[in-house]
Amino acid sequence: EAGVAQSPRYKIIEKRQSVAFWCNPISGHATLYWYQQILGQGPKLLIQFQNNGVVDDSQLPKDRFSAERLKGVDSTLKIQPAKLEDSAVYLCASSLRGGGLAAYEQYFGPGTRLTVT
């Protein structure tokens, strides 16, 4: 079974520039998550999709961050414009859909390390 794919793995940009991250979840996983992980902290949920609908985006800084999952499979997360404090690892995870407990198990990609200078 292929895992969650993310690209790029590393990105360095200057502040006020824009950046986009891509995620391809595990096949058949309807739920997709984007997390921000700052060094020394746990993952912080930015947005959760169920198929192509948003379930939770309460912690997404919507003035600069946006995310989409148009066909219910791949997803992109964009930051525009970037700030210094956006330097972090951006993690994508996916899980099965449904009301069962298996839907709690999240499978993570390798992450994208963003450095904003």
Partner 1 sequence: AQSVSQHNHHVILSEAASLELGCNYSYGGTVNLFWYVQYPGQHLQLLLKYFSGDPLVKGIKGFEAEFIKSKFSFNLRKPSVQWSDTAEYFCAVGTGNNRKLIWGLGTSLAVNP
Q: Which residues bind partner 1 (CB under 8 A)?
A: 3-4, 31, 40-45, 48, 55-56, 91, 93, 95, 99, 101, 103-111
Nearer to partner 1, 14 or 105 (CB): 105
Closer residue to partner 1 in complex, CB, 3/8: 3
Q: How far is the CB of 82 from partner 1 (least distance, A)?
A: 23
Kindly state the tokens that stand for 89. 């690892």
- Asked if residue 79 lies in contact with residue 36, where contact means CB atoms within 8 angstroms, the answer is no
CA-wise closest residue to 20 among 83, 67, 85: 67
Per DSSP (E only), the strands in the chain are 5-7, 10-13, 19-24, 31-37, 44-50, 53-56, 65-68, 75-79, 88-95, 107-108, 112-116
Report, in Å, the least distance between residue 86 CB and partner 1. 19
Q: Compare residues 19 and 95 and give the one whose CB is closer to partner 1.
A: 95
Least spacing, CB of residue 16 vs partner 1, in Å: 30
Smallest distance, partner 1 to C-beta of residue 18, A: 25
Identify which of residues 82 and 94 has a Cβ nearer to partner 1 in the complex: 94
Closest-CA residue to 50 (of 7, 103, 90, 3): 103
